[in-house]
């Protein structure tokens, strides 16, 4: 480190770096040419790959079809016979990381965990590999002799982008629902832009007001709220809007009214804005009945669509329709569209990573079973202590829990006997997502019993509820603690 800071050595170091860059470019071009020759020159395919953790050359699996390569295949994938090929590994190509895979009706569609990489490879016969591959490509499409095709992200995005609108129309055939999701997506883009510009645009700090539940409003709270209200009113498909930032419901003018009622928290976790921590938007959608606010005061089982949008290193929208799968879309700034990147999102079947997420500052207020459960996570289950992860933005914490596994706990307590999270636009939508992804969304001990968040019925637009969300493994620990305390608990086996 001292040598790096020595001013006399800076020119020399810069020269070394420049030489390395030039060597990298030359080496990369040579490797691309060699790889293209080995692939038989199929449509000028230039490819190279490396196994995780390896350097230099590595064995590279491929199908018997010349030039058809394996990309990002995990251990769960089974498939065709494979050959072996050596491939050089240039380090100056665009990098895609594709660690997951998903079956489709043709062969296999790989769907990467990185938003920009998902759905890069289509119709590839796959083998059972020990771990995923890092793959780099110069050209993005070729055909083999048996018509196996590899179609990569950049070319797909240019000609056949799997956008949000296309997905909604293909799944619902409901043009009004397409308009609604487009209006929501527009507001998410506007909010994402405001969040990114918060520092330079002086949007940090309080606005000097409080919202419907007594929280201090930030400048971005008010701006985000206005963005969502304007987008939804002018969509022409909404009848009633409920926002955390407005004490009263918003009745859409008759000439712009439609068939949907939408409840939303425009900027969940906004108290973290000033320190640049992830925030998000949460929403739930109900169909209009009588055009009055009571249309929203219905059981969570009647919610027809629920989702959230996370604003972080990527802008990611996750949502689900009733009795459907959970899908993820990432905002591609190059085309200004949300693009389908996560398919049929599922809570890890084995419970995933051992993570518990809660605000332990409230520990003294919790009931004894919750204290016992958190102590069990901290001290270890089966000899393995859990890690603590708590962002304080519900969207960020739930998104991590959905992807990685673990448990999220925000129970009722002595200080907040009804819970702290808003039922209509936090509890119910998140419960619908977690449950339809294969997880559990429990209330914990609430109103004299342990129930399901998705079956709660709000008695007011801003009423609250407790939440315990996770997989069978970890929610089962909480239920065991309640059972020991003499509380009747649901049988988790019924949900398997």
End-to-end CA distance of the chain: 55
Half-sphere exposure of residue 167: CA atoms within 13 angstroms, side-chain side: 25
- Beta-carbon neighbour count of residue 141 at 10 Å? 15
* Sheet of strand 355-357: strand arrangement: 387-388, 355-357, 407-410, 467-470, 440-446, 449-452
Residues 189-205, buried b or exposed e (16+ Cβ, 10 A)? bbbbebbeebeeeebee
Query: Catalytic residue among 46, 62, 268, 316, which?
Result: 268
The β-bridge partners of 483 are none
- Catalytic residue, candidates 46, 332, 426, 474: 426
Fold adopted by 164-321? Fructose-1,6-Bisphosphatase; Chain A, domain 1 (3.30.540)
> Is 426 one of the annotated active-site residues of the chain?
yes
CA-to-CA distance for 37 and 39, rounded, in angstroms? 5
State the catalytic residue, choosing from 46, 150, 184, 221.
221
| Given the residues 46, 244, 397, 474, the one annotated as active site | 244
Catalytic residue among 42, 45, 150, 265: 265
3-state class (DSSP) for residue 481: helix
Is 267 a known active-site residue? yes
Active site (annotated) includes residue 244: yes
The pLDDT assigned to 270 comes to 80
What is the Cα–Cα distance from 110 to 131, expressed in whole angstroms?
Answer: 14
245 catalytic per annotation: yes
Could you give the CA distance from residue 290 to residue 293 in angstroms, rounded to a whole number?
A: 9
- According to the model, what pLDDT value does residue 161 have? 85
The string of pLDDT tens digits covering residues 73-115 is 332 332 322 232 223 323 322 323 333 333 322 223 233 333 3
* pTM of the shown model: 0.70
Active site residue 265: yes
Angstrom distance (rounded) from CA 399 to CA 397: 6
Strands 326-332 and 337-342, bridge-based pairing? antiparallel
Whole-number pLDDT of residue 203: 63
The CATH class of the 355-495 domain is: alpha beta
Q: In the chain, helix, strand, coil percent, each to 5?
A: 35, 25, 40
Is 221 among the catalytic positions? yes
Residue with tokens 């179609």: 151
Tell me the C-alpha distance between 230 and 52, whole Å. 47
Contact predicate 408/443, CB 8 Å: no
Q: Kindly write down the DSSP assignment for every residue of 265-319, as one continuous string.
A: EEEETGGGGGGT--EEEEEEEEE-SSSSGGGTSS-GGG--EEEEEEESSSEEEEE
The per-residue pLDDT for 43 is 28
pLDDT value for 35: 40
Q: Do domains 164-321 and 355-495 have the same CATH topology?
A: no
Residue ranges per domain, the chain?
8-159, 164-321, 355-495
Question: What HEC string does 9-48 produce?
Answer: HHHHHHHHHHHHHHHHHHHHHHHHHHHHHHCCCHHHCCEE
Catalytic residue among 177, 267, 402, 424: 267
pLDDT in tens, the chain (496 residues): 444 445 455 555 555 555 555 555 545 444 444 444 443 332 222 332 322 233 333 333 333 333 333 333 332 332 322 232 223 323 322 323 333 333 322 223 233 333 333 333 332 333 333 333 333 332 233 233 333 333 344 455 557 789 999 999 999 999 999 999 999 999 999 999 998 887 665 666 555 555 555 566 778 888 999 999 999 999 999 999 999 999 999 999 999 999 999 999 999 988 787 888 899 999 999 999 999 999 999 999 999 999 999 999 999 999 999 999 999 999 999 999 999 999 999 999 999 999 999 999 999 999 999 999 999 999 988 888 999 999 999 999 999 999 999 999 999 999 999 999 999 999 999 999 999 999 999 999 999 999 999 999 999 999 999 999 999 999 999 999 999 999 999 988 644 4
- Of the residues 38, 143, 176, 215, only one is catalytic, namely 215
């Amino acid at each position: 480190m001292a040598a790096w800071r020595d001013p006399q050595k800076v020119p020399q170091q810069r020269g070394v770096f420049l030489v390395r860059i030039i060597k990298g470019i030359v080496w990369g071009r040579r490797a691309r040419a060699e790889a293209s020759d080995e692939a038989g020159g199929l449509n000028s395919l230039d490819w190279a790959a490396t196994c995780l953790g390896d350097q230099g050359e590595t064995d590279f699996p491929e199908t018997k079809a010349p030039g058809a390569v394996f990309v990002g295949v995990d251990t769960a994938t089974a498939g065709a016979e494979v050959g072996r090929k050596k491939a050089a590994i240039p380090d100056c190509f665009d990098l895609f990381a594709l660690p997951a895979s998903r079956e489709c009706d043709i062969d296999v569609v790989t769907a990467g965990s990185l938003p920009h990489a998902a759905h890069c490879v289509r119709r590839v016969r796959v083998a059972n590999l020990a771990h995923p591959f890092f793959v780099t490509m110069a050209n993005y499409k070729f055909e083999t002799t048996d018509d196996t095709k590899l179609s990569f992200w950049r070319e797909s995005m240019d000609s056949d982008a799997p956008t949000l609108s296309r997905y909604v129309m293909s799944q619902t055939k409901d043009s009004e629902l397409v308009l609604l999701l487009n209006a929501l997506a527009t507001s998410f883009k506007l909010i994402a832009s405001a969040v990114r510009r918060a520092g330079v645009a002086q949007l940090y700090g309080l606005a000097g007001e409080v919202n419907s539940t007594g929280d201090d409003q930030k400048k971005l709270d008010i701006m985000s709220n206005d963005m969502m209200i304007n987008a939804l009113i002018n969509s022409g498909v909404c009848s009633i809007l409920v926002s955390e930032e407005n004490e009263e419901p918003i009745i859409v003018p008759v000439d712009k009214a439609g068939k949907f009622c939408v409840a939303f928290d425009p900027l969940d976790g906004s108290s973290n804005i000033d320190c640049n921590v992830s925030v998000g938007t949460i929403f739930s959608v109900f169909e209009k009945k009588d055009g009055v606010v009571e249309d929203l005061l219905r059981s969570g089982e009647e919610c027809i669509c629920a989702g959230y949008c996370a604003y972080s290193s990527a802008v990611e929208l996750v949502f689900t329709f009733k009795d459907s799968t959970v899908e993820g879309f990432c905002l591609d700034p190059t085309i200004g569209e949300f693009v389908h990147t996560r398919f049929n999102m599922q809570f890890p079947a084995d419970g995933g990573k051992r993570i518990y997420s809660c605000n332990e500052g409230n520990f003294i207020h919790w009931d004894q079973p919750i204290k016992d459960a958190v102590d069990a996570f901290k001290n270890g289950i089966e000899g393995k202590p859990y890690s603590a992860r708590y962002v304080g933005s519900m969207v960020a914490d739930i998104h991590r829990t959905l992807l990685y596994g673990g448990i999220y706990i925000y129970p009722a307590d002595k200080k907040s006997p009804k819970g702290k999270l808003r039922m209509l636009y936090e509890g119910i939508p998140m419960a619908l997502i977690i449950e339809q992804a294969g997880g559990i969304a429990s209330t914990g001990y609430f109103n004299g019993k342990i129930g399901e968040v998705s079956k709660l019925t709000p008695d007011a637009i801003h009423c609250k509820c407790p939440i315990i969300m996770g997989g069978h493994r970890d929610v089962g620990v909480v239920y065991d603690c309640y059972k020991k305390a003499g509380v009747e608990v649901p049988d988790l086996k019924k949900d398997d």
